[in-house]
Amino acid sequence: SAWTAPPLVFSVLAGSVMKRLRKKKTAFVFGLIAGLFLLPLIWVKSLWLIIILTFFSSVAYAISYPGIDAAIQEYVHKLGVVGNDLVGLQSSVVSLAYIFGPILAGALATVVGNQVTLGLLGGALAFAGLVGILVVRREIRLPHEALHVLLHDA
């Protein structure tokens, strides 16, 4: 419940955080924070510390995830009618992640253990958040027509 309960309460804060940081920055910054809270699970042995780190990671993720959805909706809005293709692509990727994610995490857990696997996934999440902060531009600068051309040429 340290992982599943916080989104029920703290996802409400996402809107006020997104007003300050913007959608993508909220997603990346709080994704980075969520990953950083999970990373110590690689070496932490205290049960209470594991529960506390998991709780705070879940809080950060609960704030991050609506930012991801809002950023995707911004792209969909810019694409207009063709935005449905982006929604379909995103749904397909999420479905593949639900299939292959547990398989890969299970294989990794078999080798290094469950707790270390969760810490390594936290490291990957933190890395993705950091790359997003450093690489992704603040605003979508690609004009509407260029998005259509890019999507149709792909």
Answer whether 0.75 is exceeded by the pTM: yes
Contacts of 70-77 with C-beta under 8 Å, sequence gap 24+, read 70/18, 70/23, 70/27, 71/23, 71/24, 71/27, 74/23, 74/140, 75/140, 75/147
pLDDT tens, residue by residue, 46-94: 999 999 999 999 999 988 888 888 888 877 777 776 677 777 888 898 8
- Range of lowest pLDDT (6-20, 59-73, 102-116): 6-20
